[in-house]
Structure 1
Amino acid sequence: MLNALAVDRARIADLDAQIRDLERSLSVLRSDKLAVQERLNYYKYPVQTLPNEIVCEIFVHFLPPYPICPPPTGPLSPVLLTHICRGWREIALASPALWRAIQISGNDDLVSTFLSRSVLRPLSIHVNEWQQPFDDLAQDFLATLLPHCVRLEYLTLRLSTDFDSPRIDAAMPLLQRIDLALDNYSESPLVVLCQAPLLRAAVLNDCAAASTALPWVQLTSLTLTMMWLHECIPILQKTSSLVHCKLELCHSLIRHSDGVEVTLPALESLTLTDIPNVKEHLLSTHLQTFITPALCKLQIPEHFLGLDPIQSLASFISKSGCNLAPVHIANRRSVPETSYRTAFPSIPTLLFSRAGWRDSTSSDDESDSNLHE
């Protein structure tokens, strides 16, 4: 019995020694851990060392280029930038440039939030009631926007006229471009912009053109869609400063310009087209309506040149006294390409396509081979 107790005492002493060794090892490990943790705590990832101004600039480039409006929510929205971390959320909320382009999609509270966060920055607003009907909220949205009209630079409205829409006639001293489409004719002008000294560009569909009063003489760029030529003429007669013009015309022969001519002395680019996806193209002589001495770029479907396209084009060039380059003949079907080139040797760039053509905003550097037969 005494021998067993002596063995246990020796065993305890041995265990105590092992415990002291392990405790010393743990102490060393804890010390090493503390040193490593201190180094980690001291280290900052390079992105966290960027000045707030640089982070804000990165955020701005994350969004579509202004004045394009990002979606109000989701992966490409500025709201996403507020969900990454607390620091970046603070930067995003304090950056008015992130909230100046607003796509209205049916959330009145979100619109008010964006307007508040944009502070006093100029605004780009896109309202598309056609894409997502607002029902009775439409009036509220427009009412929310009207107090901020003095900040509007770019305005896109797709509106239904089956509600009592408020008339938009506030001063817009910063407005540069308006894109307006209505689904029905309004009994009285819906948009009246008499105080928009910087307005230079307008895009209007047929209903909007009939329901809008603009300072036409200021415009340098005008797009009219879904209209008869005789409907365009009264507007074009007021736009003597136009440099770029695009007309999407109905191609029926029921109504025509009745020989009326429109002189656009500053016009450099003219694009005439007809309604997309129309299968039947009727002959017309729309080009003879225009006198454009400064015109350089012309895009036109061949059936808009009438029965004798070459003679019609030659008559237009002679009457206008313009030097054209390039000229794009679309939907060519009756006159060979070589006949055009022989008839117009002074035009250095003649482009041809069987159906459709580049929009006037497309790059002029695009290869001609894509358009030639």
Structure 2
Amino acid sequence: MDSRIKSPGQQLIEKPDNGSALSCLPVEILRQIFIHCLPDAYALSPNLAPILLSRICRRWRETSVNMPTLWRKVLVVVPAGDGDWKKSAVFYDLWLKRSQGLPLSIAIDCSPNCKDKLRNILQPYNTQISSIEFLSGDAIIAAELLFETTDLPAFREVRLHRPLGDRVNDETDAIRSLSRLPCTLRTLKVIKEISFDLFNYSVCDVWAHLTTIKMNLYEEHDVLQLLRLCPKLSSLKTRLSSIDGSIPLQPLTHMNLQSWSISCFTEIFHVLFNALTLPALRVLEAHYLVWCHKEFMAFLARSDCPLEHLILGFGVMMTERERRKAKREYIALLPSLEVEFDVVTAYHYG
């Protein structure tokens, strides 16, 4: 890249002259620019927004400090030392106050022995916390006191980023802490390569309230177990490690699932279609599997669902002839159905 070409971040670092176009922009436009400067990931760097924006000039500082939307997202890293802890507590209190009561999205990365410190930082803002991203199993354990002693009325979403622990005991402790999540939780997203033994969660009341889940599972029985635990689930995105097929699945009807995205490297995906009845299904997206047309037709007839969008995407194995035939029959059954094929990347065989 030409060194003379500067990124927006590089341009922001340079202080605007008093007579520059940036310094003369109306506050409304400046605010829109500030929003677009926010990084996608959680960041506390002084060289990134929103901290950077408050260091450019007086006008930018006044504008950014009085924009609560810039301070709704924060990474909380709790230091072990008492001296560093006091500075961090002041820093986070200042940051969180600037959110001015708006819903907060928080990422947590700290050790289990920082439970009290973490609670002291977040407790004054508990009514604002709407989502938490745990960057480690230790962070889940550290947040346990917050869940046990604090009411979180706005809390709706949890995201998990890394494996729960390197040892079995670590994972067990993290699972125990997760089981104490508030029942206001509605969305659970598991990012990267993490799978769960769902039976460890079967006694947890929080499952009954979930409406959205993104999670990797081991096999087909886990899909049915998840649906049994989550009667209010409306959106599910999952990838299966495998499908065994040796043990018959008990039929299951789920009344509320509306959107289902699934991928699995298997030739016997049809066992799930044979077991499930989903009368509320509106969107189905499939990747990396051998499509089972006959079983899917039976599933549609049995479910009598208002399916609106069928996406047979990356890695779905179908010949061109199979695609044409399938589309005709699906639309004949559901005239308003939109069928989308990933023609470029789909596997062709036969």
TM-score for both structures, normalised by structure 1: 0.65
Q: What amino acid sits opposite 1:228 in the alignment?
A: E
Aligned to 1:189: 176
Q: What pairs up with 1:13-32 in 2 under 5 angstroms? A: none
Which shifted more, 134-143 or 236-245?
134-143
Q: CA shift at 1:171, angstroms? A: 2.4
> Aligned partners of 1:343, 1:95: CA distance in 2, in Å?
52
Does the C-alpha gap of structure 1 residues 208 and 70 become closer, same or farther in structure 2, counting only changes over 3 Å? farther
Q: CA shift at 1:165, angstroms? A: 3.4
> Aligned partners of 1:214, 1:118: CA distance in 2, in Å?
31
Q: What amino acid sits opposite 1:260 in the alignment?
A: Q
Does the C-alpha gap of structure 1 residues 140 and 91 become closer, same or farther in structure 2, counting only changes over 3 Å? farther
Q: CA shift at 1:163, angstroms? A: 9.2
> Aligned partners of 1:156, 1:214: CA distance in 2, in Å?
20
Does the C-alpha gap of structure 1 residues 318 and 117 become closer, same or farther in structure 2, counting only changes over 3 Å? same
Instruction: Say whether residues 1:80 and 2:68 are aligned partners.
Output: no
Q: CA shift at 1:57, angstroms? A: 4.6
> Aligned partners of 1:53, 1:350: CA distance in 2, in Å?
43
Tell me the secondary structure at the aligned position of residue 286 of structure 1.
helix
> Aligned partners of 2:128, 2:43: CA distance in 1, in Å?
20
> Aligned partners of 1:163, 1:141: CA distance in 2, in Å?
14
Q: CA shift at 1:223, angstroms? A: 1.5
Aligned to 1:122: 103
Superposed CA deviations along residues 78-124 of structure 1, whole A, max 9, x for unmatched, are 11012211232233233332211112356661444422332422201
Aligned to 2:250: 260
Does the C-alpha gap of structure 1 residues 320 and 82 become closer, same or farther in structure 2, counting only changes over 3 Å? same
Instruction: Say whether residues 1:299 and 2:306 are aligned partners.
Output: no
Match of 1:152 among 125, 129, 134: 129
Q: What amino acid sits opposite 1:189 in the alignment?
A: R
Superposed CA deviations along residues 139-172 of structure 1, whole A, max 9, x for unmatched, are 4664333443321122211222499635234322
In structure 2, runs of 5+ residues without a counterpart are 1-17, 80-84, 166-170, 332-337
Q: What amino acid sits opposite 2:107 in the alignment?
A: H
RMSD of Structure 2 on Structure 1 (CA): 3.7
Which shifted more, 137-146 or 98-107?
137-146
Q: What amino acid sits opposite 1:92 in the alignment?
A: S
Tell me the secondary structure at the aligned position of residue 345 of structure 1.
helix
Q: What amino acid sits opposite 2:61 in the alignment?
A: R
Q: CA shift at 1:174, angstroms? A: 1.3
Contact 2:72 2:104 in 1 (8 A): yes
Match of 2:299 among 300, 316, 322: 316
Aligned residues: 297
Aligned to 2:37: 62
Tell me the secondary structure at the aligned position of residue 206 of structure 1.
coil
Aligned to 2:312: 328
> Aligned partners of 1:343, 1:56: CA distance in 2, in Å?
50
Tell me the secondary structure at the aligned position of residue 240 of structure 1.
coil
Q: What amino acid sits opposite 1:341 in the alignment?
A: R
Contact 1:239 1:264 in 2 (8 A): no
Q: What pairs up with 1:1-373 in 2 under 5 angstroms? A: 48=23, 55-64=30-39, 69-105=41-77, 109=88, 110-127=91-108, 129=109, 134-135=110-111, 139=115, 142-143=118-119, 144-161=121-138, 165-167=142-144, 168-169=147-148, 170-181=150-161, 182-184=163-165, 185-187=171-173, 189-191=176-178, 192-196=180-184, 199-204=185-190, 205-207=194-196, 210=200, 213=204, 215-253=206-244, 258-274=248-264, 281=266, 283-284=268-269, 285-301=271-287, 303=289, 309-324=292-307, 325-328=309-312, 330-333=314-317, 335-348=318-331, 349-353=338-342
Tell me the secondary structure at the aligned position of residue 78 of structure 1.
coil
Tell me the secondary structure at the aligned position of residue 293 of structure 1.
coil
Q: CA shift at 1:244, angstroms? A: 1.9
Give the fraction of aligned pairs with identical amino acids, expressed as a percent: 21
Contact 2:315 2:346 in 1 (8 A): no
Q: What amino acid sits opposite 1:126 in the alignment?
A: A
Aligned to 1:16: none
TM-score for both structures, normalised by structure 2: 0.69
> Aligned partners of 1:343, 1:99: CA distance in 2, in Å?
50
> Aligned partners of 1:69, 1:319: CA distance in 2, in Å?
44
